[in-house]
Amino acid sequence: MPERRTAAIRAFVALDLDPISLRRVARVADRLRMGSGAPSATWTPAAKMHVTLKFMDALPIDGVAPLAAAIRPLVEGKPAPDACAMRLEAFPAPKHARVVVVALEDAGGAVAKLADKVDRLAQKVGVPREDRPFRPHVTLARLKRPYDARRWLRPDLAEGAGACRAEGVTLFRSEPGPDGSLYVPLAHFAFA
């Protein structure tokens, strides 16, 4: 008898930054975009900037409501994670950059702990656990080709940007499209 496949969606759980933090991150992106040596890239609009806690290439449709219900008590009524300092970074490495990010220095580990809890909850609804270590970051740009960004990603471009603060967590559906993915909120939870 053939195995029945469950309908699934592309989705992710995001740590939402507060408006001030979003403006700060967007300013860093603007400085980079206008800086000398800026390569050809696709830049993340400020409205789409977030910290991905868990990406799910195939979240079963029947797992959406249980996952949202399980995330709710992790966030609502709870204090937001401590503010995180920002620094510029590139993945996989500055010498061979493909993605430019603002990395968050999660000194107390609160953001990483939250991501691990979300990862475990997603596993309960049929999504495999993440096998890479969690690195909290906000994606600024995806480069058109690998680039040696060591001179371009000067630390002073992020100086004075302050720290990032979170205001909530959102479960999004990600719908790929010709002009980039459309993020559709499925559930949102605010920190106390």
Domain that holds residue 60: 8-190
Confidence at residue 74, expressed as pLDDT on a 0 to 100 scale = 97
Strands of 182-190's sheet in order across: 51-60, 8-17, 166-175, 182-190
**Predicted local distance difference test score (pLDDT) of residue 154:** 81
User: What pLDDT score was predicted for residue 36?
Assistant: 76
Q: Average pLDDT for consecutive 10-residue bins of the chain (192 residues)?
A: 72 97 93 86 94 97 97 97 91 95 93 97 96 94 93 78 91 89 95 95
pLDDT reported for residue 141? 95
Count of beta carbons in the 10 Å neighbourhood of residue 84: 25
Q: Would residue 48 count as lying in a domain?
A: yes
- Asked whether residue 1 is domain-assigned, the answer is no
In a domain, 136, yes or no: yes
Please name every residue paired with 87 in a beta bridge, in sequence order, or none if there are none: 103
Domain count, the chain: 1
Cβ distance 61 to 6 under 8 Å?
yes
Task: Answer yes or no: is 85 within a domain.
Answer: yes
Q: Tell whether 160 is covered by a domain.
A: yes
- CA distance linking residue 105 with residue 81, whole number of Å: 12
> In this predicted structure, what is the pLDDT of residue 38?
87
Measured between alpha carbons, how far is residue 167 from residues 1, 35, 161 in Å?
48, 30, 18
- CATH assignment of the domain containing 49: 3.90.1140.10
The answer to whether position 3 is within a domain reads no
- Please report the pLDDT score of residue 10 as a whole number: 96
CB atoms within 10 A of CB 1: 3
Does residue 2 lie in a domain region?
no
Question: CA nearest 56: which of 71, 42, 45?
Answer: 71
Q: For residue 89, which phi and psi values (nearest 5 degrees)?
A: -155, 165
